[in-house]
Structure 1
């Protein structure tokens, strides 16, 4: 369990998150993921990184229970820094990152895939930010890279999710396949990328990041400031205090241990 790596094909590094029950990561898990992705990108033999997960969902955000146990905001400070590092590691990875997404992709999961270079999703994948239901704010920066502006706002305010098919229609998902074909489809794209010259791939990644119209690191850091304000105001604590109680009508089916960013 945790974060593991493998070399399934020449030039490809597979980074897999396995943190049962729903891949909602504590601060240490986000740091481990950041370190692993950065190390993979620095390896001169790697030309593409595939970011995947075990279990029924890709990622359910941060471990809200870790925050519920926090009396002096130290866990909040830690997970904010950790999420920032993990999202930045994906964005700044020296080679392209392909995200292979199955099931739910919520909260911090959006931060990861929104910073990836390409997304391959299973046909049961859903994407969303239940931040307002979790006493947090953040990752609108990354959701805005997946859907148009007004849809991003509606999804954010309602905590609803978008399907893989909807993201495919918006052009932010490369391909949608049945779950049992997800790994193969992601590897197929990664293998095609990895056939390119390694030096040119690294230069291309740096060039594309350089012309990005939004500085995702700065904009996400700006969002995080409002999470701190919500905690100081007490609003975040009120919402988090209700987390884990039986869901209201229309809220069934969401992971029970996460769904927020730091």
Structure 2
């Protein structure tokens, strides 16, 4: 359990997230993801990083149970800072990051995947920000990197999810494959990227980030201010207290593991 790194073949590092049962990460987990991705990207022998997860789904976001059992706002602040660091680590990784997504990708999972360089998904993958149903806000910055602006807003306001096939149609998912083929498909793309010159691929990553029209760190930090306002005003607790699970893919996540990325 936790975050592990492996090197299955030359030039490719695989960072795996494993926090059963639904990959709802505790505060330290987000920092562990950030550290693993940054270390992998800094390794001169690595030219591509694959970010994947074990278990039922890619990510259910933040472990709200940890926040609830921690007095004061320490865990809330830690979760927000941890998400900020993990999302930034993926975006700023010195080499391209390929996200391999299966099952549910919710809340903080969108922050990780939205900041990746490429996405490969299994045909059962779903993506969304059910934040408003959970008394939370955040990661619209990253969902906007996966779907067009108006679709992002509709998904955000309704808490609906989009399928891997739908994201593929919008061009944000590279390939959609059966779950049993996900690891192979992600490694295939990573292998092709890793075949490039190590110095040149790092320059390419820096150049592409440099021409990005949105500063993802500043944009997400702005969102976080409203997340704190919702919590400190009591709105977040009120909404979480009245939330009734529906019938969408977010039901794969137990209510005490709700995300608040």
TM-score normalized with structure 1 length: 0.96
Of 239, 245, 250, the residue aligned with 1:247 is: 245
What pairs up with 1:193-232 in 2 under 5 angstroms?
A: 193-232=193-232
| CA deviation vs aligned residue, 1:170-229 (integer Å, no higher than 9, x gap) | 000000000000000000000000000000000000000000000000000000000111
Q: For residue 181 of structure 1, what is the aligned residue in structure 2?
A: 181
Equivalent pair of 1:21/1:55 in contact (CA under 8 Å)? yes
Between the aligned partners of 1:144 and 1:50, the Cα distance in structure 2 is: 22
Following superposition, the deviation at residue 70 of structure 1 comes to 3.2
4+ long deviations beyond 4 Å:
248-252
| Residue 34 (structure 1) aligned with residue 34 (structure 2) | yes
Following superposition, the deviation at residue 249 of structure 1 comes to 5.8
* RMSD of Structure 2 on Structure 1 (CA): 1.4
What pairs up with 1:86-97 in 2 under 5 angstroms?
A: 86-97=86-97
Between the aligned partners of 1:8 and 1:22, the Cα distance in structure 2 is: 25
Mind listing any 5+ residue stretches in structure 1 that lack a counterpart?
A: none
Q: Secondary structure in 2 aligned to 1:253?
A: helix
Q: Secondary structure in 2 aligned to 1:22?
A: coil
Q: For residue 18 of structure 1, what is the aligned residue in structure 2?
A: 18
| CA deviation vs aligned residue, 1:123-154 (integer Å, no higher than 9, x gap) | 00000001111221100000000001111001
Between the aligned partners of 1:240 and 1:68, the Cα distance in structure 2 is: 11
Equivalent pair of 2:245/2:251 in contact (CA under 8 Å)? no
Mind listing any 5+ residue stretches in structure 2 that lack a counterpart?
A: none
Q: For residue 77 of structure 1, what is the aligned residue in structure 2?
A: 77
Following superposition, the deviation at residue 91 of structure 1 comes to 0.2
What pairs up with 1:59-208 in 2 under 5 angstroms?
A: 59-208=59-208
State the number of aligned residues. Answer: 260
Following superposition, the deviation at residue 251 of structure 1 comes to 7.5
| CA deviation vs aligned residue, 1:90-111 (integer Å, no higher than 9, x gap) | 0000000000000000000000
| Residue 260 (structure 1) aligned with residue 259 (structure 2) | yes
Between the aligned partners of 2:248 and 2:18, the Cα distance in structure 1 is: 28
Equivalent pair of 2:134/2:260 in contact (CA under 8 Å)? no
Between the aligned partners of 1:122 and 1:251, the Cα distance in structure 2 is: 15
TM-score normalized with structure 2 length: 0.96
